[in-house]
């Protein structure tokens, strides 16, 4: 069985249709095993024999839209992809905290890479560390002491489109641990 983490876009825990128990119910209804939701921000881990991640993403998103009215987006990563990312220790020497966020932005196309012009576009409050092709993820450090960092997501969406979702590195680590 393959272990997947589903990172769902546009989840608002205050919406009753987006709560963990309902998200789990959709995944269980699709026949997945060992379904578990993580935190309250659209992170679900599960197991299945299915190997076509793109087809799974589509099927999951169709079910989320039909059953719960969630139009966001579903991005899957395997346990192996997340393990390689975490083991690479991309944020060596850095600490996630209230003032500094270590973030991972998953893209639809893992081969997308990081355009050179992106570094200039994000401004001085965001440090781009690179792009992990195996995980299809842009790695960045956000300075939360400056309110101008709120424009970061707009720049990322302009570059990659809306088919992305961002999580803290801590959330990625927790998802990987939950997959064991």
Q: Convert the pLDDT of each residue in 125-163 to its tens digit.
A: 888 999 999 999 999 999 888 776 667 888 899 889 888
At 69 the pLDDT is 87
Q: Where are the alpha helices (DSSP H) in 30-116?
A: 53-68, 79-87
Percent with pLDDT over 70 in the chain: 94
- Asked whether 34 and 46 are in contact (CB, 8 A), the reply is yes
| Alpha-carbon distance values, 145 to 74, 98, 159 (Å) | 30, 9, 24
At 85 the pLDDT is 97
The C-alpha atoms of residue 56 and residue 176 are separated, in whole angstroms, by 19
- Asked whether 42 and 15 are in contact (CB, 8 A), the reply is no
Range 43-51 average pLDDT: 95
Does the structure show a pLDDT above 70 at 14?
Answer: no
117 contact partners, CB below 8 Å, separation of at least 6: none
Quote the mean pLDDT of the chain: 89
Range 90-113 average pLDDT: 90
Query: Residue 17 — very low, low, confident or very high, per pLDDT cuts 50/70/90?
Result: low
The tens digit of pLDDT for each residue in 73-98 reads 899 999 999 999 999 999 999 988 88
Range 36-60 average pLDDT: 92
């Amino acid at each position: 069985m393959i272990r997947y983490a589903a990172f769902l876009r546009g989840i608002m825990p205050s919406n009753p249709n987006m709560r963990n128990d309902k998200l789990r119910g959709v995944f269980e209804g699709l026949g997945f095993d060992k379904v578990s939701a993580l935190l309250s921000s659209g992170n679900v881990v599960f197991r299945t024999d299915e190997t076509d991640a793109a087809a799974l993403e589509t099927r999951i998103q169709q079910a989320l839209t039909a059953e719960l009215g969630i139009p966001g987006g579903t991005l899957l990563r395997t346990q192996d992809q997340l393990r390689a990312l975490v083991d690479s220790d991309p944020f060596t020497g850095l600490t996630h905290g209230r003032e500094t966020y270590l973030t991972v932005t998953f893209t639809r196309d893992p081969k997308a890479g990081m355009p050179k012009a992106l570094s200039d576009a994000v401004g001085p409050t965001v440090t781009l560390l690179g792009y992990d092709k195996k995980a299809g993820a842009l790695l960045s450090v956000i300075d939360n002491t400056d309110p101008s960092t709120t424009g970061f997501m707009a720049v990322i969406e302009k570059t990659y489109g809306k088919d992305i979702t961002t999580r803290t590195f801590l959330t990625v680590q927790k998802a990987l641990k939950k997959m064991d």
